[in-house]
Structure 1
Amino acid sequence: MERINVIGTSGSGKSTLSKQLAAQLGYPYHEIDALFWKPNWTQTPDSELLDKIADITHQPYWVLDGNYSRTEPVKWQHVDTIIWVDYSFPRTFYQALKRALSRWLPGKELWPGTGNKETLGNLLLSKDSILLWTLRNYAKNRRRYSALMQSPDYPHIRFVRLRSPAETQAFLNAVQPDQHADSKDASCSL
């Protein structure tokens, strides 16, 4: 595992897992949301976003956190492992709610330098609400990711599906950096 994309519905825990995995392996961590969102909730044009992702995915080691289906042709050219965090809907929705509140209550900036913060309006009333997004996309994402795991288009990719926090912890416990590599050149055995 050297080039890893962690996917899952919003609130699934993909960012938490991505950060843990990157730290454990000594790999750079990249969040697609941070690449996409500019100040004042301005979206990065697709061509610019795809260029940023191409720069990352041409590197030898990385953990990429996020879905963005339009980025798949670029990011999955070089990925060797896709980890799908696929927890139950109640757990995923609860985690999305908990995360949203933990960002909104203290007025936490979501991505450094953007000034973008959760507001009560965008949590509950907006068509772009992360809670509404989770409700709308959970079942759709499960169908799509299940199909992707079976797709003959990606024979070079190892898919890992984690269905519970216990499975995730067991997976993390099994991932060990190669003892003979330094952190810049770390590979891992599993």
Structure 2
Amino acid sequence: MKIAVIGYSGSGKSTLAATLGKQLSIPVLHLDAINFEAGWVERNREEAKALVADFLQHESWIIDGNYGELYFNERLTDADRIILFQFSRVRCLIRVLRRYQMYKGQTRPDLAENCPEKIDAEFLFWVLFKGRSRRRRNHFKQITQQYTDKIVVLKSPWAVKQFLSQDKF
């Protein structure tokens, strides 16, 4: 089983990926933990791409994150299931604030070591506006149209619970 988890920041991609990884005994790669753009880890683009390329060689995998430069199209093509999180702006903001409170000054399990949880105006602007640009929304819409046979769109925590209660993913 190969699962790509994509969607808006703060919606719960990493949490679901970790949960599915445990339930299905499949290795999980959190792209936030290796991404060169996030500013948490000093890693060049080629190193990050090599890590993802190696991970894609696993027989089964779960990869969470968008990051177009990190084999995005290949992940979607190879995936048996694509899970798209489309939670509302407000829901994502609330989740980001809760996450910050929970991990303030600590490193989340889905981030690289020594990368304490942080929050700033730029990230909040991303969660509420920039990360939901018309271009991004259209991109997600195109993905749902292109991969109709293997995509699941989750728009609320209730939908996630329903999805996890199924025997098949």
Say whether the fold is shared (TM-score over 0.5).
yes
Indicate whether 1:132 and 2:135 are aligned.
no
Report percent identity of matched pairs.
Answer: 29
Residues 44-101 of structure 1 deviation map (CA, whole Å, 9 limit, x = unaligned): 2222212111111121111111111222134234222110111122111111122123
What does 1:107-126 align with in structure 2 at a 5 Å threshold? 107-110=105-108, 111-113=111-113, 115-119=114-118, 123-125=119-121
Partner Cα separation in structure 2 for residue 11 and residue 93 of structure 1? 7
Indicate whether 1:169 and 2:161 are aligned.
yes
Q: Which amino acid in 2 is paired with 1:69? A: G
Displacement of 1:9: 1.1
Q: Which amino acid in 2 is paired with 1:109? A: T
Indicate whether 1:158 and 2:150 are aligned.
yes
Partner Cα separation in structure 2 for residue 112 and residue 73 of structure 1? 24
Q: Residue 147 of structure 1 aligns with which residue?
A: 142
Normalising by structure 1, we get a TM-score of 0.75
Residues 57 and 79 of structure 1 are in contact (CA less than 8 Å); yes or no, is this contact kept in structure 2? Answer: no
Displacement of 1:138: 2.6
Aligned residues: 163
Residues 110-142 of structure 1 deviation map (CA, whole Å, 9 limit, x = unaligned): 4343x22234xxx234x4x2x221122135433
Partner Cα separation in structure 2 for residue 172 and residue 4 of structure 1? 14
Flag the structure with larger Rg: 1
Partner Cα separation in structure 2 for residue 77 and residue 49 of structure 1? 20
Root-mean-square deviation (CA), in Å? 2.3
Partner Cα separation in structure 2 for residue 77 and residue 167 of structure 1? 24
Normalising by structure 2, we get a TM-score of 0.83
